Chain A
């Protein structure tokens, strides 16, 4: 047995461990500590608002492009005969957070937020209605 071959790697390894003792820890003490989410992070969707109503015009491009088929839109006609989303639902259990809906949107009505805490107790609570998706001021 060659002692050099045996102990040198162990010592080298311990050196790294020792070095980390004096560095800032990587582990985040979640939920006491909160992560800093990147600007381009693809979390929960939000429907953008303009002039006190959702910007969405119910063009159906997001449900069309959605690879997981998790978006349900039903268009309605408002008092000015304009098109709006009477129903806008995203089933987060099916969503794969690919962000195609944001890319497809011709009117910048949907974006993805840094919100990632989506756990819930029942399946139906994972279906986000339009009210829940509207951006919070």
Chain B
């Protein structure tokens, strides 16, 4: 810490702070346009000029000058105010004063400063810019006439998003922000640039002219897409969520969001939302009252008893999941599951076996504190983009080594010094085992690992996994495997990340076991910046696991439930928010099961493919309309409050399950807070939590790890000659099937596609956007071709989110599906 004087006030600040940081830390405001706390100092706007006595009273920029001991700083002498006024006058010389039609007005740094410094006239005259405005992009509108060249957009796109879509182009007075060769914006559309723009140069097009900033009610919430648990601020007006608002102080991610979080909110107030309960009468779904609908459902549940089953989406709150479970128990059935029954297996079976707890021992905060990150599948960036930003920052700012094991290259592979080992699809478990084998054989690991239970069995089971043997089946060289093992073992702190989800059937319990073994062998557990982190797919996937909403105690899992529906042993199926017809493997099988089941109840926001098959459809509300808690992938429990009133007659799942429990003769809790108290009392790690103690930031549920070695079950994928290996996955712009109802994601990625390598495309004479017939043993379907350099030859990729062309028509849940492509 250094001591200094700012405006006659004795203050202290860290040695690494700049004058601006030191002032901010001590509550002294220095005006600035080009600074964001996440970005490196830049010094573009010259608004933060201060005087330092030791520098002979010269005016220097506060944001780029480090503090030194004994500095005497003045932040607002008449000279400085005069200088700042002039800076503003010069900025306003070219900035069009079109505040009445600029959506930034009210939230505009330049406008606020102009007002604060009373710049109501300009001594200079010059012509305004007449640059072309980019209206064509559906998400980001660029009007460079308003730009003040602070460079924040270009810097955030480079430093955090690591995409580099925007940059300074041209020189001198003609300098402007644009894309390479002045082309159209074609990026990840995370909107980070929009969020940091101090003026109205970059604006969110979906929000264009919708409302003025000051008329919005700002409601804090938690994103309802992936498991990262990003915090959101929703901008609400007239019971409509109109936009998301950037708040640099929100969450571990400092307000940073991805395309889904920032532009995918439109499903909340979508016209397609269901507003009334529906019952099938004479083959048609007709609108009925809630009482009738719930009475019918309760009656069927009573009749079916143990022959009832439930599937829930991991987007429900913890409270709802607990009530749902209690409902099923009061019916007399323990058949309930979520996420297709396998997407949570890495936690519920894998980590439960290896660590004694169904949770990841590490958190997202460990990423930047690590020395080496081992990411399994580049898809980790696509499934959890904000975690991806953390990886970007770790690699670029902290010099963390990045090693990737993947069946294709991806965004993460492009990071500086990232080493991507592209293996044949489905061989990741064998490779991890092989890494463990190298560590054991070369004694690279932690000596104390030998004493852990199961070591001997593990050592024996790894006998077949020598790098040489594995390299033959995985397409990597033995040296690569050895080098990776030694790099991993030698790093002081190393963190393994892997995504799981419905589209990643290969990321099973065995992978979790293998990864856990590797971390244990190398002694990479229980230290800050080390460990393993399983990135679960949905916003409350970890919560669903914590609430025990999965097959246990003899209950059927999701696959078995659908089999039961097909054979007739399950008579009533309750589906809350899941869309198995699109997101579960094997379309034909799921359709047959849902056709066959006697009574299908679906509680949904939208008339999904699954809801359209239901006997009763109950309209439910979105995360923005209800109260509850979500548990993020690293067990951060966060409280959400309603931002708007419920749409139409929709009710929360909480109310529906409560009413049904009451109709079954049970006692239902009146409020989510009461149920959360129950959760806190009964769930390990949640002790002493309450809505009050969760606050805005949330709390981490503690993870008590009791490590043992578990031998991972492996089965080698058999390659079929002459066919291509189809791997399924998530695409950056989507999460599950919900994002189909968000306009933003659908603007960027409106339909399914099949991604293939240039070599394969050339060999089969396919060109971009060809409509290809993709056939597997399971069936065939048509998808547009997308040809990219990231796919290795012989491997094709298809995202699974789309109801219009669900990839489960050809995919039956195998990690690798062997397919043929034809035009």
Contact = CB atoms under 8 A, between A and B. Distances in A.
B135 A60 contact: no
Contacts of A81: 133, 135
Contact of A59 (B100, B133, B135, B208): B100
Contacts of A32: none
Contacts of B210: 75
A59 B215 CA distance: 12
A57 B133 contact: no
A120 B8 CA distance: 66
A47 B781 CA distance: 57
A59 B101 contact: yes
Interface string A31-66: 000000000000000000000000001111100100
Interface in A69-88: 75-77, 81-83
A106 interface: yes
Contacts of A93: none
Q: Considering residues B100, B208, B212, B215, which has the most beta carbons from chain A within 10 angstroms of its beta carbon?
A: B100
Interface residues of A, number: 14
Contacts of B117: none
Contact of A75 (B99, B105, B209, B214): B209
Nearest to B101: A83
Interface string B101-140: 1000100000000000000000000000000010100000
Q: Considering residues A60, A76, A106, which has the most beta carbons from chain B within 10 angstroms of its beta carbon?
A: A60
B252 to A, nearest CB: 35
B133 A61 contact: no
Which secondary structure dominates chain B's binding surface?
Answer: loop
Q: How large is the interface on B (under 10, 10 to 19, 20 to 34, 35 or more residues)?
A: 10 to 19
Interface in B85-107: 99-101, 105
A69 to B, nearest CB: 11
Contacts of B100: 57, 59, 61, 83, 106-107
Interface string B212-239: 1011000000000000000000000000
B212 A60 contact: yes
Contact of B209 (A61, A64, A83): A83
Interface in B788-807: none
A58 B214 contact: no
A94 B99 CA distance: 28
Given A57-B100, A59-B100, A107-B100, A64 B212 contact: yes
Contacts of B214: 64
Contact of A58 (B99, B135, B209, B215): B209
A7 to B, nearest CB: 68
Nearest to B213: A60
B103 to A, nearest CB: 9
A77 B101 contact: no
Nearest to A61: B100
Given A59-B101, A106-B100, A76 B215 contact: no
Contacts of A61: 100
Nearest to B105: A59
Contacts of B208: 77
Contacts of A76: 209
8 closest Cβ pairs, A-B complex: A59-B100, A75-B209, A83-B101, A60-B212, A106-B100, A81-B135, A57-B101, A57-B100
18 contacts: A57-B100, A57-B101, A58-B101, A58-B209, A59-B100, A59-B101, A59-B105, A59-B212, A60-B211, A60-B212, A60-B215, A61-B100, A64-B212, A64-B214, A64-B215, A77-B209, A83-B209, A106-B99
Interface of A: 57-61, 64, 75-77, 81-83, 106-107
Given A59-B100, A64-B214, 10 more contacts: A57-B101, A58-B209, A59-B105, A77-B208, A77-B209, A81-B133, A83-B101, A83-B209, A106-B99, A106-B100
